[in-house]
């Protein structure tokens, strides 16, 4: 049997009520606990299941065959499957008992483990909800070689009354007088999918007058959130960030557990209008990494220099991490998050530099100004030691070429990777393919080229030679030309834009997805329904059953940015796998970026990985891929790779599913994770 190397996060759910251990126990019906009935719902109070079920073998555990003694000393936990309803932090508790099958009470001898400490915890056999997060978790009692488990479900209801309404006014929302004559929610969009850990969306609506009184009711399977408030026009409401995170954590999957959103207002003559409703979804996974984007010059206080800013999905403000004292942009970031390549504004061809992102503030890296490397856009390989660099021919895109250079100093390793007329490169996360826009034609810069097709090439084992260069998406068939390809984190698909003015974001544009061999070409019409969407880039890891795609759009942002025609960052969920005719979903605005800015050319990458001994949350934070519990401090730190014969816990690095300790985990983008339900 493989040894477990590192525990990360919550105790794994085994998906069974009882589990038999050792001592010759067969694991048959004699050692399994019954279902115990349903867990109840909101209307049933603190519903309880049956009286407990058989657990694993404790002692004197014969096989029971040929007249032998059956498993008479098993654990029985009671009650089974209780449900606790928390209302406004009034937290009911649940006392459990554990007995052997012959009636011996061992409650005070067992060790308790509840897998969802964000929902609640148990001390001295009494389970207490946190009152913040709802959901279902497995409670396990352990004694010697035996254990017994049951589900514990907590439902949470929270009411906030900042409007100071009396009970009659609040009750009016439950008996509406008729439909609202004009209110329309303009942000978020119906059916938007959010990941965990992003900033709460600011709900925005039109069709109302001055200061009015509202109720926002958000309901999902295990949580009901109600807030009464007043606001004027333009009408907006931003819920508390902690409450938003509690709503998300109470979910069970993006499609199986939709969030019902109802916004209603008091009528001028008394009573309340019927709610205006939407459905949202919160995928049970966090999008990890940071978005590095170019803010164009001449905006936000007249700043004359373009600059690259950094923002995380949960960032309230962007970070200017590096300031070389001039206009710079056109960037990419290495897979380990340690190095950026960017372009300085200067003599032609523009100087290409690398930046050490592990420093604070960031410093010039191994390719400083004056190295002789020139061009614009670039892409790192999977191991971050080689860079695919465009060397654009000013005013003649058909002469543009791509080169592979050594990231350690800029030495040219392949002087012409895909032939003349190629630019806007991408390199697959597995290192096996490169993609670019080739067949570039027309005058001006490469990003002014009016013609071009999406091409790929295969990278040889030496990591330098590229062959089998061929088109996978022709220019014909849709307006504009393909632009700015980006590989999914598993290297299987490529997203790209189709702008109508070269690859600039000043004309019309929409987003597309294609398999890396040219099959399954699909327009991401839901995500880019505005026809003003450009520059897609995938997040470095999948999360919650989706790929996550950041892009630039000039669409309105609710009633905050209206008719500004201003490029801003948005994010959309893409189904994994993308089997639907259109696997995209309505996007959400990345709060925190500067609304005054023109945001361009986003690139999303991991934060710089951490070395052994540094604090971590998941294996993706660590250069070695392992986040382990330090036995001395109890804190999680980056640790060594597991020794041969060991397995990786959820969240830590893997190569195949067989590397993962938890049998329900898959190896997703190099880390053990369970695909949530949809």
Q: What is the domain partition of the chain in residue ranges?
A: 75-155, 162-286, 295-566+587-605, 614-674
Question: Residues in the chain, how many?
Answer: 678
Among candidate residues 158, 154, 281, the one with its CA nearest the CA of residue 222: 154
Which among 8, 184, 159, 1 is positioned nearest to 635, based on CA atoms? 8
How large a percentage of the chain has pLDDT more than 70? 89
Which of 68-72, 324-328, 463-467 reaches the highest mean pLDDT? 463-467
Tell me which of 70 and 81 has the higher pLDDT. Answer: 81
The CATH topology of domain 295-566+587-605 is: Neuraminidase (2.120.10)
Give the residue ranges of DSSP H helices in 340-422: none
pLDDT digits 0-9 by tens, 605-617: 999 999 999 999 9
Confidence of residue 349 (pLDDT cuts 50, 70, 90): confident
Residue 30 φ/ψ region, left for φ over 0, alpha for ψ in the -120 to 50 degree band, beta for the rest? alpha
Q: Edge-to-edge strand order for the sheet containing 599-605?
A: 307-311, 290-295, 599-605
Give the tens place of pLDDT for each residue, 208-252.
989 999 999 999 999 999 999 999 999 999 999 999 999 999 998
List CB contacts of 530: < 8 A, sequence separation 6 or more.
553, 554, 555
Q: Topology of domain 162-286, per CATH?
A: Immunoglobulin-like (2.60.40)
Q: Residue 72's pLDDT band (boundaries 50, 70, 90)?
A: very low
pLDDT at 301: 73
Task: Please state, in angstroms and as integers, the Cα–Cα distance from residue 82 to each residue in 39, 50, 591, following that order.
Answer: 6, 9, 39
Strand order in the sheet with 466-473: 423-427, 433-441, 451-459, 466-473
Any long-range contacts for 518-522 (C-beta under 8 Å, 24+ apart)? 518/456, 518/471, 518/472, 518/473, 520/493, 520/578, 521/473, 522/578, 522/581, 522/582, 522/583
b (16+ CB within 10 A) / e for 330-344: bbbbbbbbbbbbbbb
Query: Across all residues in the chain, what is the average pLDDT?
Result: 89
Average pLDDT over residues 117-139: 96
pLDDT classification of 634: cutoffs 50, 70, 90: confident
- Our CA angle for 297, 303, 309, nearest 5°, is 65
pLDDT of residue 18: 33
User: Does the pLDDT at position 51 exceed 70?
Assistant: no
Span 426-464, pLDDT tens digits: 999 999 999 999 999 988 889 999 999 999 999 999 999
pLDDT in tens, 255-266: 888 999 999 999
Q: Which of 88-97, 214-223, 242-251, 369-378 has the lowest mean pLDDT?
A: 369-378
Would you call the peptide bond into 45 cis, given omega within 30 degrees of 0 as the criterion? Answer: no
Cis peptide before 577 (omega within 30 of 0): yes
Which tops the pLDDT comparison, 320 or 25? 320
Q: CA-to-CA distance for 98 and 18, rounded, in angstroms?
A: 13
pLDDT classification of 4: cutoffs 50, 70, 90? low
Lowest mean per-residue pLDDT among 65-74, 104-113, 619-628:
65-74
Three-state secondary-structure class, residue 230: strand
Neighbouring-strand partners of residue 551: 570
Beta strand 588-589 with 568-575 is antiparallel
Backbone angles phi, psi at 548, to 5 degrees: -120, 130
Give every CB contact of residue 655 below 8 A, 6+ residues apart in sequence.
667, 670
**75-155 belongs to CATH 2.60.40.1080:** yes
Q: What integer pLDDT is reported at residue 2 of this predicted model? A: 52
Q: Six-digit token pair at 208?
A: 């109302």
Instruction: Please state, in angstroms and rounded to a whole number, the distance separating the CA atoms of residues 249 and 244.
Output: 9
- Fold matches, 75-155 and 295-566+587-605: no
């Amino acid at each position: 049997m493989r040894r477990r190397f590192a525990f990360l996060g919550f105790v794994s759910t085994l998906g069974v009520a009882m589990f038999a251990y050792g001592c010759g126990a067969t694991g048959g019906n004699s050692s399994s606990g019954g279902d115990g009935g349903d867990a109840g719902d909101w209307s049933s109070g603190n519903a309880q299941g049956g009286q407990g079920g058989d657990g694993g073998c404790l002692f004197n555990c014969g096989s029971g065959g040929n007249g032998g003694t059956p498993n008479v000393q098993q654990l029985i936990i009671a009650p089974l499957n209780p449900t606790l309803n928390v209302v406004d932090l009034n937290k009911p508790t649940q006392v459990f008992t554990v007995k052997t099958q012959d009636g011996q009470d061992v409650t005070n001898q067992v060790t308790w483990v509840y897998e969802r400490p964000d929902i609640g915890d148990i001390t001295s056999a009494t389970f207490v909800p946190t009152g913040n997060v709802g959901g279902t978790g497995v409670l396990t009692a352990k004694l010697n070689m035996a254990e017994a488990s049951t589900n514990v479900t907590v439902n949470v209801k929270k009411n906030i009354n900042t409007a100071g309404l009396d009970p009659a006014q609040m009750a009016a929302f439950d008996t509406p007088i008729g439909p609202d004559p004009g209110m329309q929610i303009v942000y978020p969009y119906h059916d938007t999918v959010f990941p965990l850990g992003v900033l709460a969306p600011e709900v925005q609506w039109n069709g109302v007058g001055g200061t009015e009184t509202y109720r926002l009711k958000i309901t999902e399977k295990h949580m009901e959130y109600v807030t009464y408030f007043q606001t004027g026009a333009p009408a907006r409401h931003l819920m508390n960030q902690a409450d938003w995170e509690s709503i998300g954590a109470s979910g069970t999957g993006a499609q199986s557990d939709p969030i019902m959103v109802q916004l209603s207002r008091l009528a001028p003559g008394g009573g309340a209008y019927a709610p205006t409703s939407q459905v949202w979804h919160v995928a049970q996974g966090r999008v990890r990494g940071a978005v590095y984007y170019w803010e164009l010059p001449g905006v936000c206080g007249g700043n004359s220099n373009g600059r690259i800013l950094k923002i995380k999905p949960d960032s309230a403000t962007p970070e200017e991490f590096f300031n070389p004292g001039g206009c710079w942009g056109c960037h990419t970031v290495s897979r380990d998050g340690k190095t950026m390549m960017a372009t300085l504004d200067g003599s032609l061809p523009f100087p290409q530099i690398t930046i050490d992102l592990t420093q604070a503030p960031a410093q010039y890296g191994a390719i400083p100004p004056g190295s002789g490397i020139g061009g614009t856009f670039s892409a790192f390989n999977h191991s971050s030691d080689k860079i695919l660099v465009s060397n654009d021919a000013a005013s003649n895109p058909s002469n543009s070429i791509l080169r592979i250079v050594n990231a350690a100093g800029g030495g040219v390793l392949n002087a012409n990777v895909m032939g003349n007329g190629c630019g806007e490169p991408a390199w697959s996360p597995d290192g096996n393919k490169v993609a670019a826009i080739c067949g570039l034609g027309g005058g001006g810069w490469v990003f002014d080229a009016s013609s071009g097709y999406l091409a790929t090439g295969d990278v040889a084992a030496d990591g330098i030679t590229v062959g089998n260069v061929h088109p996978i998406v022709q220019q014909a068939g849709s307006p504009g030309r393909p632009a700015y390809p980006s590989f999914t984190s598993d290297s299987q698909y490529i997203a790209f834009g189709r702008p109508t003015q070269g690859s600039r974001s000043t004309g019309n544009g929409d987003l597309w997805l294609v398999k890396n061999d040219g099959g399954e070409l699909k327009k991401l019409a839901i995500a880019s329904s505005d026809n003003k969407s450009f520059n897609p880039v995938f997040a470095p890891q999948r999360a919650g059953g989706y790929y996550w795609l950041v892009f630039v759009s000039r669409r309105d942002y609710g009633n905050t940015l209206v008719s500004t025609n201003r490029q801003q960052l948005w994010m959309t969920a893409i189904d994994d796998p993308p089997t639907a005719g259109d696997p995209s979903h309505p996007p959400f605005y990345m709060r925190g970026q500067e609304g005054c800015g023109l945001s361009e050319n986003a690139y999303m990458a991991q934060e710089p990985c951490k070395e052994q001994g540094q604090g971590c949350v998941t294996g993706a934070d660590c250069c070695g891929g392992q986040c382990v519990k330090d036995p001395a401090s109890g804190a999680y730190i980056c640790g060594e790779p597991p020794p041969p014969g060991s397995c990786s816990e959820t969240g830590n690095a893997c190569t195949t599913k067989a590397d993962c300790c938890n049998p329900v985990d898959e190896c997703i983008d190099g880390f053990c994770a369970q695909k949530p339900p949809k």
